[in-house]
Amino acid sequence: MQNFLKYGNFCYQLVLSIRKFQRPSVQPFLLGVVIGMVVTALITLPSGYNLSLFRSYASERKITSRIGNHSSDDHHHRMTNISLSSQLYNEVKVLCWILTGPQNHEKKAKHVKATWGQRCNTLIFMSTEDDPSLPAVALPVIEDRNNLWGKTKAAFQYVYDHHYNDADWFFKADDDTYAVMENLRYLLRDYEPTDPIYFGFRFKPYVKQGYMSGGGGYVLSKESVKRFVTEALPNPDKCKKENTGAEDVEIGKCLENVGVAAGDSRDADGRSRFLPLFATDVLIPGAMGKEHWFWSYHYYPFNVGMECCSDNIITIHYVDPYKLYLLEYLIYHVQPFGISYNPELPEKGVKQTPVEKEKASNDSWDEFEGK
């Protein structure tokens, strides 16, 4: 890949220099040489490369037309029973707030709204410019990648001031996170909004009890939001006053300092329900090298391959707008005909965390981690 990029860049530079030639007779000749080189490069590369290269270019293109929607009265959707998800929609109210910025309102935020965002009980985009169409809030913070912590503090303050009574749970996600709200409600249903607890993909460094990945999304109970805003934020001993720093680490420290527990969101089989990565990074063994930061960050034992991820997955990170629509289509529309699923709600409060059975581990990185 590296070589190919270098090669591509070389060809590009060559084209630029050709364009500087004024003598028209030389241009076609040199152009022919360049085209020949590009074609050779494409032919000699393994076929997978070309595809992934084109895909990533495509994903950067802006989506301008509406994608549309199927109706619940369509032939297929009439066969779908949504009664339990409707019940949980009303029983477990979740406010979603999406961390974004003015440069991403059109490019990313509106596609979150058009896909999974529609399943939040309340959806708000936190930005530094307002935009009633999303809606996006202009937080009183200077727009800067280094100020994400400042934005996060201001966002929870805003939510506490204006929407505290609209929900029981407050879910933060990025504009490149995909979330399956039904599965979030299914997890949260076993806890009380008055519990001082929060959930997400749990990382182990920096904070004693660990902290939750920002890009994987995290969810605070009503009580946790209250403690964060009224006890932690005003106290510089409990919560970093400056706006800089890693948003997820800083809120992790504040929450620990006001007695909010880092919850275990793994499913009954010990698989992750929140993912700070794109699914294929952990589904495909070896997709991420041993040196990847993830292997020194995960809090619980983590298996690659199909064991990585729960069938009740809640979040996936690094989802560009193209993939938002792909996931939306695969999760909410595609059905292998004849396979039906009959979910049953377990008795409320019986938490679906793993029963600590020792699983045969096929985790190829155990050795690396010294476990």
Ligand X SMILES: *[C@@H]1O[C@H](CO)[C@@H](O)[C@H](O)[C@H]1NC(C)=O
Residues that bind ligand X (CB under 6 A): 69, 71-72, 81, 83-84, 114, 118, 360, 362
CB of 107 to ligand X, least distance (A): 18
Show the tokens assigned to 287.
């997709």
End-to-end CA distance of the chain: 33
CB of 368 to ligand X, least distance (A): 15
Contact 170, 199 (CB under 8 A): no
Nearest residue (CB) to ligand X, 9 versus 340: 340
CB of 189 to ligand X, least distance (A): 15
CB of 359 to ligand X, least distance (A): 8
Residue 45 buriedness (CB in 10 A; 0-12 / 13-18 / 19+): middle
Q: What is the CB neighbour count within 10 angstroms for residue 258?
A: 19
Spell 163-175 as b/e; 16+ CB within 10 A means b. Answer: eeeebbbbbbbbb
Cβ-proximal residues to 173 (8 Å cutoff; 6+ apart), any chain: 96, 97, 98, 99, 112, 179, 217, 315
Nearest residue (CB) to ligand X, 43 versus 339: 339
Nearest residue (CB) to ligand X, 94 versus 255: 94
CB of 83 to ligand X, least distance (A): 4
Nearest residue (CB) to ligand X, 84 versus 268: 84
Nearest residue (CB) to ligand X, 114 versus 229: 114
CB of 102 to ligand X, least distance (A): 23
Q: Cα–Cα distance between 114 and 118 in angstroms, integer? A: 6
Q: Cα–Cα distance between 255 and 211 in angstroms, integer? A: 9
Show the tokens assigned to 18.
């050709």
Q: Cα–Cα distance between 118 and 103 in angstroms, integer? A: 22
CB of 309 to ligand X, least distance (A): 17
Nearest residue (CB) to ligand X, 103 versus 335: 335
CB of 91 to ligand X, least distance (A): 14
Nearest residue (CB) to ligand X, 146 versus 362: 362
Show the tokens assigned to 32.
């022919």
Nearest residue (CB) to ligand X, 26 versus 67: 67
